[in-house]
A and B are shown apart, each in its own frame.
Chain A
């Protein structure tokens, strides 16, 4: 493996200082399942890694009915995937977590690492975005909370400044009137990057859709919302005809590229199919 310096931080402040002081080519080292591969395959030039896994207070998972689900930067995908609360209240997150990598990878990889890597095809981002999650960011001078929808600025790029560290994510509470789904489209089930991923989170009041968020993965420079499709669905009873025209609208709102996994046209078609299916699956919560 190409050589790099390993630093272990005991506090957020120390980690942040190391990130600032060690200069370019310094990266946070959390689960490491992506970074170590990038180092080994020489996809990323890395001079220093800053291990944050000894920092206390970043491993907690909490839930309450007003604040929702909050988990820290060190919480692995596998731990959340197996959590009964996630299985029961957030089937969308559960589907995304269980589809990431393999069991072995999920026991090391963290959800926040997957989010901060900012891949347009990251599985955890669409359902978190459809749920309206927000991100807690540590900074030595100016701590802030950012909606996930405003976190990404491009493929692999986020609003994080040098020395800033994501400490946790909060997902709003899952009320009894909510339905959620995440559908991943790939060629196989395990160790697969999404060809297209579609997340839908919706609220139904007296049979009428009072709110809906659609998030589309792997069909743009970042995970995208489909605001026009959402607007067509809000206030309706989500009848088949309305869902079909909104799903068509979603195909116009995405901006896919062609690459080794699929062509842009195919991805666009799949956005239409999966958006319809994801809405149907989200509605099964009320059946």
Chain B
């Protein structure tokens, strides 16, 4: 059975016609065409599909598209503030080489965004805890942590 789901994606009102069995992840990728959100394990273990729903990060693979009715969804495509500008996290990830194969990067960026929104000056332990649901199998996390710390400093400097 199909249903029409009305929701807000990256600030824009959208509607999608989806099968009621479809995950939010598959709907975003295949029906809406936002393929920035990645499908890693599809069972909630890897965090590659992390999106922010009503302000809270969730695994898009563990949510049905029909459950997003009336909700606000933020994906990695909505992270950059303008066409020619990057979010400080994206910029820092590039400068620090915090992305190797890149598959985990969209999920980690969304999780890091939420982390810095809630806690602008995270400790190493805060970052570890914040990213504990995101798995990277390439870089070993050091550069990812460096990039997040660097972005935190830049965002703080920009605010003051």
List B31-63 residues whose CB lies under 8 Å from chain A. Answer: 42-45, 47, 50, 53, 56-59, 61-63
Nearest CB of A to B17, in Å? 14
In the assembled complex, the Cα of A55 lies from the Cα of B59 at a distance in Å of 23
The docked-state distance in angstroms from the alpha carbon of A244 to that of B62 is: 43
Residues on B with C-beta less than 8 A from A33 are 44, 59, 62
A104 touches B21 (CB 8 A): no
Q: Specify the chain A residue showing the minimal Cβ separation from B62.
A: A33
The interface bits of chain A over 84-125 (1 if a CB of B lies within 8 angstroms of the residue's CB, else 0) are 000000000000000001111101100000000000000000
- Chain B interface size, as a band, is 20 to 34
The answer, yes or no, to whether A13 is at the interface (CB within 8 Å) is no
Q: Which of A38-66 contact B (CB under 8 A)?
A: 40-41, 51, 53
Give the complex CA separation of A87 and B147 in angstroms: 31
Interface assignment of A6: CB less than 8 Å from any CB of chain B: yes
Find out whether the CB atom of B66 lies under 8 angstroms from the CB atom of A6.
Answer: yes
A37 and B44 contacting across the interface, CB-CB below 8 Å: yes
Q: A3 at interface (Cβ–Cβ under 8 A)?
A: yes
Known contacts: A104-B50, A191-B45. The answer to whether A32 contacts B1 by CB under 8 A is no
Q: Does A261 contact B (CB under 8 A)?
A: no
B3 (CB) vs chain A CBs: closest residue: A6
Which residues of B sit under 8 angstroms from A103, Cβ to Cβ? 57, 111, 129-130, 132-133
Question: Does B154 interact with chain A (Cβ within 8 Å)?
Answer: no
**A1-49 residues at the B interface, CB under 8 angstroms:** 1, 3-6, 8, 32-33, 36-37, 40-41
Query: CA separation between A53 and B64, bound complex, in Å?
Result: 12
Are B62 and A32 closer than 8 Å at their CB atoms?
A: yes
Would you call B23 and A1 a contact (CB within 8 A)? yes
Which 4 A-B residue pairs are closest in the complex by CB-CB distance?
A102-B133, A190-B132, A6-B20, A107-B56
* Chain B positions near chain A (C-beta within 8 angstroms): 1, 20-23, 42-45, 47, 50, 53, 56-59, 61-64, 66-67, 111, 129-130, 132-134
